Chain A
């Protein structure tokens, strides 16, 4: 976009620029191979039988192509798992982003006595290994009767994403120019309006980064789900894997089919929303 116009203005750089882009594209394609190949292996191997995969080697193309893995996965209630995951992730993510942005606002833009302490506390909370919370959270969940419901997952999911989200959003909000807020204040906005009308829209790129990052980790979360959910009718996608694993038996292509199907919605969502990442701020800032 802007790069092209500049090229015209600065013809002297053109040759050097072209070489620069050439090198950049070389590495870009290298990175494509690096990131794509394991992914391709996952997809290809999900179309094979275990014996073929093991005897021909994992790098061999499927021969023959087998689709039964996918039909079997779907037949075993994949969509139920899928739907429950969607619900849990959507609710947790929205709650988390709302709560995190609220918390980041005073930490980034207000002066109060406890601020350094709370900020340090947030950093400390990021350092907590999740496994120490398993037993206490399991106890609390059974005590309040949420055990084995989707609701049991929302609290932990929201809370464990919070410290990092607050931390990141605070950094993002700090980059928002102070003048914007001050001019709004002159226009008669109070803090609450400032937050919802200025800060929140301008934090879109930070929020979408967080949505992607936490969306993916909630989508793949296993430990809490496995501890807090018991009946098959309440299980989320990462637990679906267990459905296809026995004590000594593991049908790897089938597992890969589950994993491919699980990753697919995330990929589609990312393709749809990735553009927002770049646009996020650019549009908003000029208006402000």
Chain B
């Protein structure tokens, strides 16, 4: 059947070998690039984490696992990690369900709702710089939207301090992140719906299913792998998030929105502590990978390849 098979020998082994060959062929370019641009820097990061080094000087002092020992006892690192976990939980709980709802709405309504799709997607097209600026004003304590609304409801002038106080700042950032990323999950689920064979829908209708029943019984189970990857992406994205926080609060007030990535960045590039910063980065990498793989493991359905 397949033209690439030549020669003799055990059919199964031959087949396995040709599969391996084909797999290697398809994977080679991706793996090569990843090795150069990601794996090599990661190895370097782990290496640097063993040194006391300011990042620029030609002398770096090998100190073994000292940085790692400090990192394990570093309250600020764990606090940042906790913030990451909070951001992660909220991101998954807010962005994915809302994204799913929006996609379901659009899928049910079809093309005439395209205008909604376009408008809803706008936040995802903006750069974090713009978003950060707009929200510092929109959420300003004096005259921002929330303060104005509060004033309206209470009747007296009320100033709500969202970004200058903890824990408000972190919650505010989570809301802004939801604003920015929910549209992506919407588009993602639209694509997921699009990937479902239309004949399945027709069959369901013939069987007398309503739209709601179709979504619950047919679409959602079929979307399971898509759903799982969406969660994984949100999870990893939240755990290594940097952009918006950096542009809006730089981790402040007083580390209230500090994430692992901002902490690591400050250590490495602003405080001349590259050795320890690399250690934080490596620690961050280990934590995220562990959580992501654990998540994959737990939520693997039987039917998956």
The residues of A with any CB-CB pair to B shorter than 8 Å are: 1-3, 6, 9-10, 13, 24, 27-28, 31-32, 34-39, 41-42, 57-59, 99-100, 102-103, 105-115, 118, 120, 122-133, 135-137, 140, 155-156, 158-160, 162-164, 166-168, 171-172, 174-177, 185-186, 188, 190-192, 195, 205-206, 208-209, 212-213, 216, 220, 222, 238, 241, 252, 255-256, 259, 262-263, 266-267, 270-271, 274-275, 277-282, 285-286
Contacts and interface: CB of A to CB of B under 8 A. Distances in A.
11 contacts: A35-B122, A36-B119, A105-B26, A106-B26, A110-B23, A124-B292, A129-B242, A129-B281, A135-B41, A171-B229, A208-B191
Contacts of A167: 229, 232-233
A277 B194 contact: yes
A12 to B, nearest CB: 10
B188 interface: yes
B41 A137 contact: yes
A256 to B, nearest CB: 7
Given A120-B293, A124-B293, A131 B268 contact: yes
A128 B38 contact: yes
B120 A274 contact: no
Contacts of A238: 127, 129
Contacts of A125: 34, 38-39
Contacts of B29: 99, 102-103
B125 A42 contact: no
A205 B179 contact: no
Contacts of A171: 225-226, 228-229
B178 to A, nearest CB: 10
Nearest to A140: B36
A3 B184 contact: no
Contacts of B120: 31-32, 35
Interface stretch (B88-96, B102-110, B153-161): B102-110
Given A127-B236, A129-B261, A209-B187, A255 B133 contact: yes
B79 interface: no
Of B122, B127, B133, most buried by chain A (CB within 10 Å of CB) is B127
Contacts of A281: 194-197
Given A28-B105, A102-B26, A259-B130, A158 B284 contact: no
B298 interface: no
Contact of B197 (A129, A160, A163, A177): A177
A141 B100 CA distance: 41
Given A13-B210, A35-B122, A277-B191, A3 B108 contact: yes
Contacts of B68: none
B59 interface: no
A216 B195 contact: no
Given A1-B110, A124-B293, A262-B127, A278 B190 contact: yes
**5 interchain residue pairs of minimum CB distance:** A127-B288, A103-B30, A106-B23, A220-B127, A159-B37
Interface in B165-204: 179, 183-184, 187-188, 190-199, 201
Interface stretch (B1-9, B70-78, B250-258): B1-9
Given A124-B289, A132-B45, A286-B198, A6 B37 contact: no
